[in-house]
């Protein structure tokens, strides 16, 4: 049992009005004294003012600015590099971003649903789940734990071809093809840190697409990595718990 687990929060900001949102969302987590790393997109208007405000609200946080490569996935990869570079070894990692998905019909409820994982009750129960069940690797909102379609030994979804190639290249062998859509989840840190020590996150990031790509019409490397971030963990025989 870990008495005071170290939590690292990797939070990506893309929208210019996300400061209040980030502050509000992170409040329940502050009692755990987490390491907070922000990435703000370089294209975000008013980014320097936002960085100043964030520094005031979270004095120990570190902030980087990176280009809009790979959307929130690329940003989180840059934050993984920062985490590794700082040689911080957290027990658990919380991935968050200011998701809006304005193009989607259900965008209004999407983010709220995903944020169930950081309500005070959910934080406590998530940490307990990790501590009590060693095979629990990921915790996310259950409605967003999606099964990637796989029939007759092949992926049948839009990202299928890319996924097959990436799983081979990075030697990832998940026990199931369930993943967390939206990439906001609690994760046991060890598998992710181990993986990114082997495969530099910025090397991965350079293969992602620029700007706001979507996978509604064709597969993308970015959306494939959305799945792989879950599968890096589940390939270690760990499962995803829904809350």
Residue 62 lies near other proteins (rule: CB under 8 A): yes
Tell which positions 73-92 bind other proteins, by CB under 8 A. 74, 78, 81-82, 85-87
Spell out the alpha helix ranges (H) of the chain: 19-26, 47-57, 71-85, 107-114, 120-132, 160-169, 189-198, 201-205, 221-234
Q: Please list the residues that pair with 133 across neighbouring strands.
A: none
Quick check: 240 and 98 in contact, CB under 8 A? no
Quick check: 19 and 50 in contact, CB under 8 A? yes
Residue 108 lies near other proteins (rule: CB under 8 A): no
Residue 17 lies near other proteins (rule: CB under 8 A): no
Dihedral Cα 126, 205, 73, 8, nearest 10 deg: 30
User: Is the Cβ of residue 41 or residue 238 nearer to other proteins in the bound state?
Assistant: 41
Taking the complex as a whole, how short is the minimal distance between the CB of residue 90 and other proteins, in angstroms? 14
Taking the complex as a whole, how short is the minimal distance between the CB of residue 19 and other proteins, in angstroms? 14
Using CB under 8 A, pick the residue from 205, 223, 227, 241 that binds other proteins. 205
Residue 50 structure tokens: 């936002």
**HSE toward the beta carbon, residue 242, CA cutoff 13 A:** 12
Using alpha carbons, select from 155, 128, 150, 148 the residue that is nearest to residue 139.
128
Question: How big is the site for other proteins, counted in residues (CB under 8 A)?
Answer: 39
Residue 198 lies near other proteins (rule: CB under 8 A): no
Q: Please list the residues that pair with 180 across neighbouring strands.
A: 145
User: Is the Cβ of residue 26 or residue 63 nearer to other proteins in the bound state?
Assistant: 63
Residue 151 lies near other proteins (rule: CB under 8 A): no
Write the binding mask 158 to 197 for other proteins: x where contact by CB under 8 A, - elsewhere. ----------------------------------------
User: Is the Cβ of residue 13 or residue 180 nearer to other proteins in the bound state?
Assistant: 13
Using CB under 8 A, pick the residue from 7, 9, 68, 115 that binds other proteins. 68
Cβ neighbour number for residue 107 with a 10 Å cutoff:
12
Please give the Cα distance from 161 to 217 (Å, whole number).
Answer: 14
- The region of 5-13, 156-164, 208-216, 220-228 touching other proteins under the rule CB under 8 A is 208-216
Please give the Cα distance from 224 to 74 (Å, whole number).
Answer: 12
Residue 73 structure tokens: 């996935």
User: Is the Cβ of residue 66 or residue 234 nearer to other proteins in the bound state?
Assistant: 66
Taking the complex as a whole, how short is the minimal distance between the CB of residue 205 and other proteins, in angstroms? 7
Which stretches of the chain bind other proteins, using CB under 8 A? 16, 40, 43-48, 51, 55, 60, 62-69, 74, 78, 81-82, 85-87, 102-105, 200, 202, 205-206, 210, 212, 214, 216-217
């Amino acid at each position: 049992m870990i008495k005071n687990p170290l939590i690292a929060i990797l939070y990506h900001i893309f929208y210019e009005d996300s400061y209040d949102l980030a502050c509000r969302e992170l409040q329940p987590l502050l009692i755990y004294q987490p390491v907070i790393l922000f990435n703000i997109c370089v294209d975000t208007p008013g980014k320097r003012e936002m960085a100043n405000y964030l520094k005031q609200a979270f004095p120990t946080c570190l902030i980087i600015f990176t280009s809009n490569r790979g959307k929130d996935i690329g940003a989180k990869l840059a934050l993984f590099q920062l985490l590794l570079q700082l040689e911080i070894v957290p027990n658990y990692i919380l991935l968050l971003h200011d998701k809006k998905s304005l193009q989607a019909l259900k965008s209004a409820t999407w983010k709220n649903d995903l944020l169930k994982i950081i309500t005070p009750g959910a934080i406590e129960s998530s940490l307990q789940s990790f501590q009590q069940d060693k095979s629990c690797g990921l915790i996310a909102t259950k409605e967003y734990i999606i099964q990637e379609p796989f029939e007759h030994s092949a992926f049948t979804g839009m990202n299928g071809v890319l996924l097959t190639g990436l799983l081979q290249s990075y030697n990832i062998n998940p026990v199931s093809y369930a993943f967390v859509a939206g990439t906001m989840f609690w994760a046991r840190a060890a598998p992710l840190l181990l993986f990114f020590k082997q495969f530099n996150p910025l090397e991965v990031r350079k293969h992602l697409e620029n700007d706001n790509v979507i996978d509604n019409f064709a597969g993308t490397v970015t959306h494939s990595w959305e799945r792989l971030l879950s599968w890096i963990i589940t390939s270690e025989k760990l499962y995803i718990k829904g809350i």
